[in-house]
Structure 1
Amino acid sequence: MNERDFADLAVGHALNALTEADERAYQEALAGHPHWDRHVRGASDAVTALSSTVEPVEPPPSVRASVFARISALPQQSSAPLDSAVDDEDYAAADRAEVAFEREAVAETASAASGWGARRWFALAASFAAVLVLGFGAVTVSQLLAPPAAVVALQQIEDAPDAQSASATMPDGTVATAHWSPSLGQSVLVTDDMPAPAEGKTYELWFVRGETPIAAGTFEPDADGHATAVLQGEMRIGDVIAVTVEPDGGSPDGTPSTTPVVAVATA
Structure 2
Amino acid sequence: MTTADPHTLTGAYALHALTHDEREEFRRHLAACEPCTQETAELSATATRLALAVSLTPRPALRAQVLHQITTVRQDTPRRPLLPKTARTARRGRLLPRWALAASLAAAAALGTTAAWQHQRAEDALQQARQSQQQTDRIAAVLAAPDAKTRATTLPGGATGTLTVSDHQDKAVLAVTAMTDPPPGKVYQLWFNTHGTMRPAGLMDPTRSNQSVLMDGLHDATGMGITLEPTGGSPQPTTTPLTQMNLPT
Please give the TM-score of this superposition, normalised by the length of structure 2: 0.50
Q: Which has the higher helix share?
A: 2
Higher Cα radius of gyration:
2
